[in-house]
Structures are given as structure tokens and as C-alpha cells.
Structure 1
Amino acid sequence: MTARPAELKGLTVLNPRPVAQAASLTAALQAAGASVLELPLLAIEPLALTPEARHHVMNLDRYQGVIHVSANAAQLALQHFQDFWPQWPLAVDHVAVGRATARLLSEAGLSPLVPSREDSEGVLDLPRLHAVAGERWLLCRGDQGRELMADTLRQRGADVDVLPLYRRVLPALAGSAWQHLDRRPDVVVLTSALVWRHWQIVAGAEATRPVLVSISQRLAEQLHAAGAGEVVQADGADPSSVVHALCCWHASRHHDMQLNPPSR
């Protein structure tokens, strides 16, 4: 769906993405008519390769597959791989958790597999990931994350190594930036469970007051359990999915208000 320019007119949306990654979501929301507040709730700190991590990178050709859990993971992994591999090993499959991640891998000359559902469960549903017994897989991610993917692949008989490439932290000035915003958002986009935790730290009692956009069913359940008044679920974390979900919700709300106008 291509949003029409005024579909989100009147809405103020908070974009929590890191500074270097916020522009595409902001542009998509503004193109649909929304006002956007940028308040980064994540900062990405690259990690130096440990001797063990360097060994994984240098032995890339010994893996049957590599899974990139995010665009940050893909970007940093590519930088390290290219230091040692001027040409990609042909027999290694690459998996991207989302479309933005897949785009980075494709631009580097790879042909990644991409699940329709952009999360760990979606990756594990890929047919390629059901027949991994006896194979070696490399999981490129942050220093912390869900263990579901690694644990499930091991249960399916794979040997899994984890390549930690970055840590995700709450920017030091996020709380001050929130206090100094000139207005409060109607909608907050939450792109991960960690962003949700950081949003709760920054916003406190106000965290569940706006409409919250979730990028997965699992996160949506967490938001409902926390007492969120209204949750909009997008099909993925990419800008088009977020804008599509918001436009559908906003149109539905406008329709309901026409049928049931507030009493005076």
C-alpha cells in the first residue's frame, strides 16, 4: 500500500530509532501526513572482535549458513567478513530476519533468504532451517538477545556459533530529550522489546498513554499485559509496514467516529 499524503494528518508519531536509522521511517510517516518526533531510544555500540569471534569470521567457508538478526548485525558482519573474504564462499546460505537486513546483504552481492514473518519464529519456519542436522550455522547478533533461534537450531541437530557484533544501550540524553519535547506524541512506534523497556524508563507513567505500534505479536502481547490502552500491530519493522498499519488503524478510527460521534 502506498499511503496518500493526508492519511495520517493530525497525528504526532514518536520515532525511537537510532540516529543513523531514523530517517527512512520519519520520511515515510511525514509522507503520509504525520508529524514526527525523533527520540532515539537505542544507541548501537560496535564490539571489537574477540579471538573467538575472529576465528568464526576467518572460517566463514566452514559454515553451511549465516543468520543476520538485524540490519546492524548485517552491516557489521559484512564489514568484518570483507576484511578476510574478498569473494564470498559460494556454499554458504545467508538468512536475513527482515527486508531492511536483506537489502544490505543483497547490495553486498549475496542472495539472502527472507521469512515473511520478520522475527525469530519466522526464520525458524523457513524450510531451509528445518533440515540442519549435522550442519554448522553462524548467528550474527548483538551481545544479548533471545536464545530461541540458537536453541531451536541446536535441537534440530545443528552446531551453532554466536558472533556478537554490538551492544544496544539507552542513549544517555534520552530522558532529558523526552522532558524537553515541545509536545507529547499520539503514537509511539516500538521496534523491539528492548525499545519498549527503554521507552518505559524514559516515559514512566506516560508510557502506555499513547497508541503503541508493535512490530510482532509477541511484543503486542507484552504491551497489552503492561496495560497499554491501544496497540496497533504492524507486519514488520520496515517503514512501509509501520505506515500501512497506522493508516489502516487511523482510517478505522475515523470511520468509527463518523458512525458514533462524541456526545456534546
Structure 2
Amino acid sequence: MTVVYRPTDLYESGVKARFQRAAVMAADRVVATSGAVLTALDVPAATPSLVLPNGVELARFANLDEVPRQDRAVYIGALDERFDWDAVREMAVEAPGWAFDVFGPGRPPQAPLPANVVLHGPISYDDIPEQLRSARVGLLPLSDAPVNRGRSPMKLYEYLASGLAVVTRETEVLQSNPEFGVYGYETARDAGKAIIAAVSVIMPNRHGMAAAAEEGWAGKARKLLDFTLEARR
């Protein structure tokens, strides 16, 4: 039996950090979702390791049948300490003619939001593609929580596969890439500039769709399987 540990997040301290360290030491191979996560784990030199970012379910999100795109920016995901409401506020103020639709479980912010930010609550996974295909920009407003440093969000490629431009806070993993319609910002105050750049992308974002097409889960699974089977050769 070959034990493969696939860490997805950085835990700097506490119970999760201890459990993760124990998992790394017990594994025959380690497959991290980002270089930042792998580096932080300090994997023993004798343990083979691989960086394999999260991917996308292409059959669900990649659809060339165009629907009318509305001036909408969409976020779909948890509303917890990893989410930056201040960045959303800045973007909504900078683009007052746009709707900012936020889907996901969690608590709303204590401070008031601009009128063009609408909180919809949780959404079914089956309903996500329809929401994305009718929007123009996907949002990744990450907070400065340490766990975000090494995240490889599946939403990045879900947004791109759906033909959206993307606005994201820049991290060690997520960087601005205008060629593919990805626009980064460093702090919440800079988020407004990023949304203005993103709204200019011609829809659908075909360069982003092409990039996402290389990141399907089927290809990721083949790489993982090949890497695992190497231990038996």
C-alpha cells in the first residue's frame, strides 16, 4: 500500500498543524496543491513530492453556448475569515453600475454594504454554472488570513472555464495575468483598480477558457495516478 497525503492549506500552528505534520511524516508521497504549501511543510528529502494545483470540472463549467452577459461580478464560496468584505466594498463603489452578487454560507459584515452588493446565501452546486455564465467577472476577494497564502482555489478555473474575467487578491499562488483575464490587487484599497481593468475584458474570456481547459480534473487524476504508481515500479 502506498500512502499519499494531499495537503491543500497552510496551518502555521495549533492542532491542525500538528495533525498535518504527522500526516506528512507518515506518507510515502506528498502531493500539495501549491508550491507555497509544499515549501511550508518541510517534506523530508527522502519523501517524493509533487505540486498539483486544484482543477475544474470542465464538463460542468465549460460551455460555449453563450447567454447574454450582464454587468455582474460574482463570488461563490464561504463567507468566513478567508473572505475580505472591504475589498468587495471598494469594488462596488468603483463600479456603481454593476451588481455584485455574493453567494455562500456565513455571516454578513457588520458594516453596511453598498446598495449594489447583494447577498444571496448558499447556492446549490448544480445552479452555479448558470450564475457564472450570465456574469462577466468572478471574484476571489481573499483576506490576509495566513491560510490564504497557499490556497489553490477551484473557483479560479471554474470562473475562467465559464468565460469570466477574474479579480483576485495576489498571493504566493495567485498572481495577476492579464493575458488570461486575471487581474490582481495587493490590498483592499487597490481592488477598485482591478475591477475596472476586469470589466474591459471582451466576453466571453476565451483566453481564460483556454487556460482552464488545461486544468481539468481528468488530467490531474492521471498525473496523480502516475506519480503514485511510480512508487511500485
TM-score, scaled to structure 1? 0.28
Bigger radius of gyration, 1 or 2? 1
Q: What TM-score do you get using the length of structure 2 for normalisation? A: 0.31
